[in-house]
């Protein structure tokens, strides 16, 4: 049974690339704003490219904030990608600051990269801190493609799944199952990124079987 993945469209995401990547790994994927579709999906993906305050405004206007929280409470796996991962936290300092979804404790701050160009753009190895269904079959460290000026600072060390270094160490992946997030773009990270998306699809399919 193929997992149904809903990619949430709030106007700020690399939607087509993410959709194609999930299709490639065998998911039944829909890019949508339809609450009924999102409510029936086996896994949700919150993508994102751009500025945190504008993104949160769009997420709230579309009613995605309450919907994501409700689906998480039902045990539905959720994956935040890049800005979408940052939105999972309590707040960001970007552009004067804004509150986030508050699903994970912590803040989002500008990269501490003295002497380096910000944003970071390019491949950077991610070191996995622990075993996870999301990273099963991936090397450690694992090169992933990053494009970002900010990164999360989780309040709980247990939420950190992977870190990378750009000037200083930053958090590049988080997990508090069934909630996951990657600062890197798996849909742009070649075979390793596709493996991660396949793992997420499998996690969503497993959750579906448990609910059946």
Active-site amino acid positions: 82, 185, 187
- Identify the CA nearest to 28 among candidates 7, 53, 46, 56: 7
Separation between Cα atoms, residue 142 and residue 196, nearest integer Å: 11
The 8-class DSSP code of residue 212 comes to -
Q: Is it true that the peptide bond before 128 is cis, omega within 30 degrees of 0?
A: no
Rounded to whole angstroms, the maximal C-alpha distance in the chain is 53
Helix (H, G, I), strand (E, B) or coil at 140: coil
Helices (H), the chain: 15-24, 35-40, 52-61, 64-73, 83-86, 190-211
Q: Which residue has the tokens 């936290």?
A: 89
- Identify the CA nearest to 16 among candidates 41, 53, 49: 49
Per DSSP, the chain holds a count of helices (H) and strands (E) of 6, 13
């Amino acid at each position: 049974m193929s997992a149904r993945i809903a990619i949430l469209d709030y106007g700020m995401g690399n939607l087509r690339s993410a959709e194609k990547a999930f299709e490639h790994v065998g998911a039944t994927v829909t890019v949508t704003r339809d609450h009924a579709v999102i409510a029936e999906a086996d896994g949700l993906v919150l993508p994102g490219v751009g500025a945190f305050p504008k993104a949160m405004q769009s997420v709230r206007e579309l009613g995605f904030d309450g919907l994501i929280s409700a689906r998480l409470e039902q045990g539905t796996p959720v994956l935040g990608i890049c800005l979408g991962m940052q939105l999972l936290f309590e707040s960001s300092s970007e552009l004067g600051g804004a509150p986030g979804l508050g699903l994970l404790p912590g803040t989002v701050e500008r990269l501490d990269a003295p002497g380096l160009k910000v944003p970071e753009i390019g491949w950077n190895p991610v070191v996995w801190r622990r075993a996870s269904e999301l990273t099963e079959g991936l090397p450690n460290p694992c090169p992933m493609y990053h494009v970002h000026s900010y990164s999360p600072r989780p309040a709980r060390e247990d939420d950190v799944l992977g870190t990378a270094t750009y000037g200083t160490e930053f958090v590049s992946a988080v997990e508090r199952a069934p909630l996951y997030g990657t600062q890197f773009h798996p849909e742009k990270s070649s075979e390793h990124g596709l493996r991660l998306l396949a793992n997420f699809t499998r996690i969503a399919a497993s959750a579906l079987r448990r609910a059946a």
